[in-house]
Structures are given as C-alpha cells and as structure tokens.
Structure 1
Amino acid sequence: MNWGSILNNTAAFMLSPETIGFMLAALGLAIHFGYAGLLNFGMAGFMAIGAYGYAISILSFGLPWWLAIGVSIVGAIIFALIMGIPTLRLRADYLAIVTIAAAEIVRLLFQTRLFEKWTNSADGLGGYHAGFRGANPLPPGNYGFGPWTYSADNWWIRIFGLALVAVAILLVWLLMRSPWGRVLKGIREDEDAVRSLGKNVFLYKMQALILGGILGALGGVVIALPSAVIPQYYLPSLTFFVWTALLLGGAATLFGPVLGSIIYWGLMAFLSGLLPAMAAEGWIPISTSQAGYLRYIMVGVALMLLVAFRPQGILGNKKEMTFVK
C-alpha cells in the first residue's frame, strides 16, 4: 500500500477548488440555517446557476470573466426571489421539500434539450477558461512544496477562490454583529416574537436567502473555474455534501464551514485512496470499484454520529442550535 501517494493526495485535495467552493457554499448555508434557521436543501441549484451563468456568459455572449461572475450573482438573486417569494412563509419541513424540488428543476432545465444552444444539454460546457487564465498575475511555472505544488494557473484559481472566502467571512462577520444579524438570529429562535416587535420577518428571510444564495453561486463558479460544467454534478447529493461540511465545522459559526469543508474533502480523498488499496490487498472482501462507494457510507455514518453526539459541530456552541433544546 502506497501510503505516501494516499497522504499526498489527501493533503492536495484539502486545498482543491472543490474544497474552496464548498467553503463558500457552506458559508451560504450557515447564513440560511445557522443564523436564519432556514432549512434550504437546494444549495445545489444556486451552485448550478453560478457555474452555468459564468460559463454561458462567456461562451454564448462573449462577456469578460469578471462580468460573467456578476451575471452568476444576478442569477442567484433571481433564483432566490423566485424560490423564496412563494415558499418562505412555509413551515421549515415544507421549505426543505420545496427547495430540493427547486434545485432539481434548475438542474433538469440545464440538462433539457430545449436550451441545448446555450447549455449543451447533458454534455455540459467547457472551453471558457481563457479569459480567467489570461488575468493570471503569476509568471508561468510551478510553485509550492510537497503535495501543494501547482502550476501558475492552478495557483491563480486557488488564490482567487481563497480571496472570495476571506471576503465572505468578513462580510458574514460584519453582518452578524450588526442589528440586521441580531434580528436574523432572533428569527431563528422565535420568529413570532420578532414579528411582534414590528419586524418584517419575511423580508429578513428573503435577504438571508439571497445573501446565502450568492455565496453558493460563487462556490459554483470556483468549482467550475478549472474544469467543465456538467449537469450531473449538481444532483441533490451535492447539497447534502455541503450540509455535511457545514455540520462538521459548526452551523452557526464563522470558521466552521471552512474547517468542515477541509475535513470533509480531506476525509473523502483519504478514503478514496485507502479503501481501494485495502480491497486490492484483500484486506476487505469487496472489489476496488465497490470500495470507492464505501467511503460515502462511512462518511454518512460519521455524520449521523456527529449529529447525535455533537450536533453543534467542531467549533459550534450547543446553545446556538435551534434543534437542540
């Protein structure tokens, strides 16, 4: 068993664009659930809109990459309005069901042949990277050390993504310390009490949905920067993976989504190398292909134990969790 390869791959994945994209999406979910108490299970829809909005703006309309990111943000706002106006008055469990359906509708619309001219249907989109790579300020070459050695283009993606994460953390920190953030936390605890004080609960929820959705769309953009945009990536399972990262770190915390994303992708990368190697050595009685799926079972069991015994996550405060009384 090649432990060096397994550990190097694990370390490299902890700084991958997928991990950074999950940081942004999990921060969005922290606003939705951790601070506003909204059970949004449609984050995959926001991520798909971010990625497709970015790619379509460049490929079909020739927009520069930075303006394409603005289109993704506008798309997330429109989706939040369309989804939120009829649903934010629903009870939490109904809201969860509706948001799952909304995200699936978005994915199927991108996959349908009706919009094939712009979305390329099930084949997805690629070849939109030139503008972003052209803005790379780093000279050509490889940089870093050990498992974190990347080309200039790959470092540019990571630097840009981490800069977005830093801005998002600062924004969330400032907002949650403001009167707006205190009202949002009050809605999470008892929205009837907040409504009795004359606050427009629906408006605050909508603002939280929009803000978190924008972060989810930016996460989708970061994940799409080095690769292609494929509709099958944005399955409902993607939302649950982001939820896993959020709950690992702590839902109502500032750095919990970041830590949870690092741990989640590090664990997934470690198991994706370890389990097939164990199967190949005959240590576990399954095939190497089956071992790849076993990691999801193990992560799922770990998440169940986490929710049962430490629902506030690694960095969270149990008093902040609305489902723990």
Structure 2
Amino acid sequence: MEFWTDLLGSIVQTALSPTTAAFAVAAIGLNIHFGFTGLMNIGQAGFMLIGGYGFVISVMAGLGFWPAIVIAILASAVFGLLLGIPTLKLRGDYLAIVTIGAAEIVRNVARLANLTPITGGPSGIQSPNFREEFNALSPFPEGRTTILGFTYTNVGVDDWWSRLVAWALVFLFLLITWLLMRSPWGRVLKGIREDEDAMRSLGKNTVSYKLQALVIGGVMGGFGGILMSLPASINPDSFGRPTTFNLWMIMLLGGAATILGPLLGAILFFVVRLVITSVAGEFVPDSILNSQQTEQLAWVLIGVMLMLLVIFRPQGILGDKKELSFNV
C-alpha cells in the first residue's frame, strides 16, 4: 500500500514539474506548426536550443534577465525566418527533412569545441549565475513551503517559484493559441492546412501566413528551451532528435489541432513513463530487468502505445477526426 501511495505522490510531482511544463510549452508551439497549419516541422528542438542558449549566453554576458529574454525571443524568431523563407514552399517529407537537418546543424554548432568559451562546447554551460536574477524576481520568502502535502523550497532549483512561472507560461500560451485560432488569422491557417491551393486562389499569401506560424510556434519552442535551462545548466545534447520525437509524441497523444492536447499529452507522457519504470522496478526482480533495462522497456512500451494510438485513434485523446485533413 505504501508503494502505491508513494507512486501517486510521484505522479503528481511529475505532472507539476517544470520539465513537464517546458515540454508542454514547446509542444504548444509545435501544435501551431503542424496541428493548425500543417507544417511538418521535425526540428522543434532546434528552436528550444536557440531560445535556451540565447537566454543563457546573454545572462552570462551580464545583459540582465529581461534583456536576455528579449534576445532569446529575437533569436528564435530569426531562426524561424532563416529556416522558413527558403523552405516553406516545400511540403510534407521535404519540409520535414529540412527542419530536422536545421535542428541538427544548430545542435552540432553548439557542440563545437571552438565555441567552448561561448556555448560550453559538448559539455554545455553549468552555472548558477543565469538563475540568480530569476530567483531575485521571486515574491516568495526564503525557506520551504508545504502545499497539499508537497514540500519544496520557495526559491532555488527545484522550487515553487520555478513551478509557478513555468505553468503560468503554459496557460498563457494556451490562451494565446486559443485567441489566435478564433481570429481570422487562425482560420486562414486552418484553411492552408486543409487546402493551400484554395487559400491561394482567394488571394491569401500562404507563404507569409506559414512563415508567421513558424515564427510564433518557434518562439514558444524557445521559451521551452529557457524553462529547460533554469535548473542552472544547459547542454546541446538535451535538444537532439529524441527531444523532437518526444514533442511529437506529446502532441499526437493529446491531440493535434486541439488547444489542450499538448498540455494533456505532456502530463500523460511523463506520468506513463514514471508509472512503467516504478511498477517494473518494484515488481520485476533485478535478475530479469535491472534499472537500465527497465528504462529501456518503458520507451519500448511508450512506442507501442503510440503505434496503437495512431492506428486506432489517430486524432489523439482530445482530437477530432474532422481536423485530420492535413495538407502535407
């Protein structure tokens, strides 16, 4: 009984963790790309890397917290423009190849040993300096606080302040997405997703609209990268192909082209992985599965569940089949 009680507590902590919020934010941006516009962006991790490094490098250079946020936003937007202007006439698999290639380019550039003084090279940047100004903004006093049985420091690394900011950003971007998709601009995006040629025949500059969607979703991905960096470290390999794969799984699990799909998908993704590893670690002997093999088993089962989801409910948990006529 104690195991199940502890597991329930761990589930709630995982669901509310800043990491879950960071992936939810990046998945909201990816949902604007694919779910609402039909863009096969397989490089959302690249936007996260650009935003995260833009923030960290700026703070380490002494520019301050708020200027660093602005620089991270601008860096993500510029990356979206540089990626989108020459490529958004491509569709489907061709755009997917370009975007995943661009994400790998920026990741490997960040790993270059020659850039170690700036990016930290393959080891990344580990420093409490770029978190100090963020902590200074906290309205909470020093110490620890217990809420509903969960105790964290008010300000620190794994703290209430980080959780408050991270989840406030999640709900802010959900609100922005909801407002955008109810606007004429959002309806044009959905029209492009359904039939780009028809929208072009109505006089809409579809490339411009897709570029705007790519930049807006990319900036949200950049904020996801900032949230990932706040525990006082950032590493280029944290934004590789597996990160983009996880974001796609989150979006598809919750439901593409839905407002709350990325939020539900992020929570379920991390919670399901936790449950699988915890239950297997508790009830399966080490002689059969050790901790490393249990982690691998969790990924195998998550992959199988994704396959079953795509086969039997391709619209995701919250999705609508009417929203699946993607123009890719």
Does the TM-score normalized on the shorter chain lie above 0.5?
yes
What's the counterpart of residue 205 of structure 2? Answer: 200
Identical positions, percent:
46
Contact 1:36 1:187 in 2 (8 A): yes
**Unaligned ranges ≥5, structure 1:** none
Q: Which residue of 1 aligns with 2:312?
A: 309
Query: Residue 149 of structure 1: SS of its match in structure 2?
Result: strand
Q: CA shift at 1:51, angstroms?
A: 1.1
Shift of 1:145: 3.5
1:248-259 mapped onto 2 (5 Å cutoff): 248-259=253-264
Match of residue 82 from structure 2: 82
The answer for the alignment partner of 1:16 in structure 2 is 17
CA distance in 2, matches of 1:323, 1:280: 46
Aligned residue for 2:215?
210
Deviation at 1:140, TM superposition (A): 1.6
Aligned to 1:151: 153
- In structure 2, how many angstroms separate the alpha carbons of the residues matched to 1:227 and 1:255? 29
How high is the TM-score relative to the length of structure 1? 0.95
Q: Normalization by structure 2: what TM-score?
A: 0.94
Kindly state the Cα deviation for residue 323 of structure 1 after the two structures are TM-superposed: 5.1
Structure-2 separation of matches of 1:222 and 1:35: 24
Distance 2:97 2:146 in 1: 44
Change (3 A) 1:77 1:85: same
Letter in 1 for 2:44: M
Cα shift at 1:277: 2.9
Tell whether 2:141 aligns with 1:139. yes
Residue of structure 2 equivalent to 1:230:
235
Aligned partner letter, 1:135: L
Aligned equivalents of 2:217 and 2:192: distance in 1? 16
The Cα of 1:64 is off from its aligned counterpart by: 1.5
Quick check: 1:9–1:147 contact (8 Å CA) kept in 2?
A: no
1:278 Cα deviation (Å)? 3.2
Two-structure CA RMSD over aligned residues (Å): 1.6
Structure 2: segments with no counterpart, 5+ residues: none
- Give the 3-state SS of the residue equivalent to 2:284 in structure 1: helix
- CA change 1:148–1:253 in 2 (3 A) is farther
Distance verdict in 2 for CA 1:300–1:323, change over 3 Å:
farther
Alpha-carbon distance in structure 2 between the residues aligned to 1:37 and 1:174 = 19
Match of 1:180 in 2: 185
Rounded Cα–Cα distance in structure 2 between residues aligned with 1:147 and 1:107: 40
Whether contact under 8 Å (1:11, 1:148) holds in the other structure is no
Residue in structure 1 matched with residue 293 of structure 2 by the alignment: 290
- Conserved? CA contact 2:253–2:306, under 8 Å: yes
Amino acid at match of 2:10: N
Structure 1 pair 294/227, CA: closer, same or farther in 2 (3 Å)?
Answer: farther
Indicate how the Cα distance of structure 1 residues 227 and 292 shifts in structure 2: closer, same or farther if over 3 A, else same. Answer: farther
Change (3 A) 1:264 1:147: farther
CA distance in 1, matches of 2:58, 2:35: 32
The counterpart of 1:272, out of the listed 267, 274, 277, is 277
How far apart in 2 are the matches of 1:266 and 1:67? Answer: 35
Matched pairs, number: 321
Aligned amino acid, residue 169 of structure 1: L
Query: SS of the residue aligned with 1:86?
Result: coil
> 1:104-130 CA deviation, whole Å, 9 max, x = no partner?
111101010121111110111122211
Residue 241 of structure 2 is aligned to residue 239 of structure 1: no
Match of 2:321 in 1: 318
Give the match for residue 108 of structure 1.
Answer: 108
Q: How much does 1:281 deviate?
A: 5.7
The yes-or-no answer on 1:171 pairing with 2:171 is no
Match status 1:38 vs 2:34? no
Other structure's SS at 1:292 match: helix
Shift of 1:287: 2.5
Letter in 1 for 2:208: L
